[in-house]
Structure 1
């Protein structure tokens, strides 16, 4: 019988050792705990957190957010639709249009109501006028010879006086083409703007309206 090699007994253990190393090399690492796993929805969840409103991110973040815009309706001037309602006779329409163009084109950009332009088509004349007067802070009465001859203009004047009888400065008479003696007695308790100047008194009317609007803020 042939004698066995002195190394023949070590072949089997070495084969087992090699198999163990191979298994160790190809063995999968242990899975992380569930709390550390990444899910396909993680990216979408982070994206949704990025677009959350600042109020949901806690007091520290909301404190640095932009301030809430002020509601324009809370301001005194913007509580009504118009700054000025211009009352005039039909024959003075051209002058009234010039006045409105001046007030609206000025840097202050006053909001004017001109009946022929701004009245609702099909609306009743009386109700449209009363609504315009109540929705305007100031009323400019363009008092001319045509104004005094027109019963409708006198009605406008009385309506303007009854809308705000105790509010000083909101009714502004603009006397044009008349002497002081012809000034309507219903308006004798208030000063008027003299329209005989180079600009027809338009600048004084604008300043009077602005002074009244400043009392509303």
Structure 2
């Protein structure tokens, strides 16, 4: 009679727990690797520094907000002659327009090429008279007062004269009186502290007016 054989060893039972442990160990390693940083030697600060070095630098506040410099007239300084729109403003009465035009033509066509403001030619159409007169005075370096019998009768001429004196009462050379068709006794009392140009002189006093304006402009350079 054959001897009974011993039952085979339960190999399948021993392999199943080992496979489960291997899977559990692999999943644990995967979870830990996800929680670990990319490199044990690098820190978040190092990562940010490397990315900031690769990216282009952001523009500074000065480069963004600084305006483009305004070009000056032919490279000259805006604080000199070109800081105002006109070199001279000619104040005259309406009945003296012909004389004023001759004076302006003389000043503009001369060697200095002075920039002149003539009210009936250069005033903005539709603008208020008071604002236009004040703007003309403030936009000009010098003011020529063409003092005639019509000037003394015109209230707007007297307004311009007083306005010019109030803006620059102590500035020598800015206000230039040109006396024409009047005697010395008729010279306005408000201008008695100023020398005037006599219109009975050579070229009607135009040359003296031009020299006075050019002399003042030279003080601005």
* Structure 1 gaps, min length 5: 1-68
Query: Normalising by structure 1, what TM-score?
Result: 0.66
Partner of residue 140 from structure 2, selected from 136, 140, 145: 136
Does structure 1 residue 190 correspond to structure 2 residue 194? yes
Match of 1:125 among 118, 129, 153: 129
Cα RMSD over matched residues?
Answer: 1.3
- 1:150 aligns to what? 154
Count of residues in correspondence between the two structures: 149
| Residue of structure 2 aligned with 1:112, choices 113, 116, 120 | 116
> Which structure is larger by alpha-carbon Rg, 1 or 2?
2
> Does 2:91 match 1:87?
yes
Q: Secondary structure at the match of 2:204?
A: coil
| TM-aligned CA deviation for residue 73 of structure 1 | 4.5
Provide the secondary structure at the position in 1 that maps to 2:90: strand
For residues 152-184 of structure 1, what are the alpha-carbon distances to aligned partners after superposition, in whole Å with 9 as ceiling and x for unaligned? 111111011112112111000000011111000
Partner deviation per Cα, 1:98-128 (whole Å, 9 max, x = no partner):
0000000001100000000000111111101
The runs of at least 4 consecutive aligned structure 1 residues that moved more than 6 Å come to none
With structure 2 as the length reference, what TM-score do the two structures score? 0.65
Flag structure 2 segments of 5+ consecutive residues without an equivalent: 1-72
3-state DSSP class of the match of 1:140? strand
